[in-house]
Amino acid sequence: MVVDRKEAFATQSSDVKLSKIGALYDIDGDGKLDKEEQAMRDMDKSGRGFLTNDKVYTLMQEHFAMERKFMRSKRVIFGLVALVILLCLSNLGTSIAAAYLSKDTKTSAESNLIDKRTGEAVGTETIAESLELRRVTRPDSEGRRRLCTTDGGELDCDVEESTLLLDTRACRRVLRRCKKGQGVNLVLKLSSGMEDSTSICPLSNGQVSATRRSSFKNSNNDEIVITPVDDGCEIGGLVRDEGKFCDVSAECRGDLLCSSDSEEDVKMCQGRCGRLRFASFMRDVCQDECAQKKCTKATDEVGALIR
């Protein structure tokens, strides 16, 4: 039977009894010397059973030397980390400075674009913002309004006694954008469901007030009037040319009247809608738009029709 030499040596070593001097270095009292205990025993060359002061001094020197080496390494690591952070901040600052210096314009306190060299405002083409108008009744005795809604292609209120209203938030936005010369379109849904859009800003001349009545002309030279009220602001002056769709005559320019086409023309238009390959709801929309009133000249025939 072959016995492993390492196992035999380990068994033999564990069975060996420590000498009297070796037992003095058996700190944990397990009857054998571990690696650290054996190192202490090896340093005791004279066999005293303890280490002399010069041996302990040497150990302490080695210990403190290791500590100093560790602290130096730690400081080097911290220094490298700080250097990396400094380089990152330097690159960021350089990028920001380069981007700022490369710009020819800056923003003023009023959010206007200014040429940095001349200090003059830079003209830009801005996108007009569209805001929805609502047709409402005038305030009753208790100051309440009612929204005019569509019922079978007709508005369910006295349109001649109604007004166009922007809510408070939209009103403030319109006045603010008009003051800055930015574009504003007011969108009104007509009785047939189609939408009518009118550009009121940028204005050509006039006065804009955040708290009082504003009156100015738009690019079409129409007189736009904005009157602040408790629940927003009333809009006046949105007029349309001949042939444009409308709901009331007040929306037509000059002496034009808002009237429907002849019954024959309406039926012909609706017949064309019925022959088109639309979905059913699209055919209904098309036919409703055929009955939408238009701004027309005040002829005797039209006048009789309106009466």
Whether 202 is in a domain gets the answer yes
Which of 157-171, 185-199, 227-241, 272-286 bottoms out in mean pLDDT, i.e. has the lowest?
272-286
**DSSP, residue by residue, 56-118:** HHHHHHHHHHHHHHHHHHHHHHHHHHHHHHHHHHHHHHHHHHHHHHH-SEEE-TTS-EEETTT
Query: 232 and 246 in one domain?
Result: no
Within a domain: 171: yes
**C-beta neighbour count of 136 within 10 angstroms:** 19
Q: How confident is the model at residue 118 (pLDDT cuts 50, 70, 90)?
A: low
Kindly report the backbone phi and psi dihedral angles of residue 229, in degrees, each rounded to the nearest multiple of 5, phi listed first: -130, 180
- The answer to whether the CB of 215 falls within 8 A of the CB of 206 is yes
- Are the beta carbons of 224 and 235 closer than 8 angstroms? yes
**90 in any annotated domain:** no
State residue 15's pLDDT score.
54
How many angstroms separate the first and last alpha carbons of the chain?
A: 131
* Residue 5: band (very low, low, confident or very high) from pLDDT cuts 50, 70, 90: low
Do 157 and 231 belong together in one domain? yes
Geometric angle at alpha carbon 91, from 87 and 96, rounded to 5°:
150
CA separation for the pair 35, 24 (Å, rounded): 15
DSSP assignment letter at 265: H
Least confident of 2-6, 140-144, 154-158, 195-199: 2-6
Q: Examine the domain organization and report whether 233 and 133 are in the same domain.
A: yes
Whether 279 and 210 map to the same domain: the answer is no
Model confidence over 152-186: pLDDT tens digits?
A: 556 677 777 788 999 999 999 899 888 888 889 99
Residue 144 lies in a domain: yes
Residue 253 and residue 307 in one domain: yes
Residue 251's SS3 state is: helix
**Top mean-pLDDT range of 13-17, 170-174, 201-205:** 170-174
Task: Specify whether the CB–CB gap between 188 and 200 falls below 8 A.
Answer: no
**Number of structural domains in the chain:** 2
Predicted local distance difference test score (pLDDT) of residue 106? 65
Residue with tokens 């959010």: 111
Residue 174: inside a domain, yes or no? yes
143 shares a domain with 186: yes
Asked which of 189, 213, 238 is the last residue of a domain, the reply is 238
| Cβ proximity of 195 and 188 under 8 Å | yes
- Does 294 lie in the same domain as 198? no
pLDDT score recorded for residue 306: 44
User: Nearest-5° angle of CA 126, CA 195, CA 164?
Assistant: 85
Domain boundaries, position 145: 128-238
* % residues pLDDT > 70 (the chain): 79
